[in-house]
Amino acid sequence: MRIGEVADKAGVSVRALRYYEEQDLLQAYRSPGGHRHYPDTAVDRVLLIQQLYAAGLPSRVVREVLSCVDSGRASPELLDRLVTERVRIDRRITDLLAVCDRLDDVIAVTRNPGSDCSHLQ
């Protein structure tokens, strides 16, 4: 698959794909004409990379996670780091759910202007 196809199917920019290559997160081979070609699995890999970045993992950790995905193995140290990241993400989810609850309260109050807003502070 060519770089534009992967970018379109994954919903990312061509520049992002080049960055993922620079970070050793995604591999492409070059045609005799110098064009990048990716395996059929590239779209799923890019979507996973995007999810891991969105969760706040740095490139170094993303690279390690992808290595685990590729090999099916991880060192005990990496497993400990992944558990720590999972705990951090769980805390973030809890925080975001609390924000959603507060926003629901604000929405409810603004839809009913006569109600008291003091409980939101």
Runs of H (alpha helix) within the chain: 3-10, 14-22, 42-54, 59-71, 76-111
Across the range 94-98, mean pLDDT stands at: 97
Could you please state the CATH topology (level 3) that the domain comprising 1-73 is classified under: Multidrug-efflux Transporter Regulator; Chain: A; Domain 2 (1.10.1660)
Q: Is 80 exceeded by the pLDDT of residue 64?
A: yes
Q: What is the pLDDT of residue 80?
A: 93
Question: What is the reported pLDDT for 118?
Answer: 56
pTM of the model: 0.78
For 29, the 3-state DSSP assignment is strand
- Provide the pLDDT for residue 114: 72
Domain boundaries, the chain: 1-73, 74-121
- The confidence score (pLDDT) of residue 113 equals 79
**Among candidates 27, 26, 29, which has minimal Cα distance to 48?**
26
Name the 3-class secondary structure at 61: helix
pLDDT over 70 at 115, yes or no: no
Question: Cβ–Cβ contacts within 10 Å for residue 77, how many?
Answer: 9
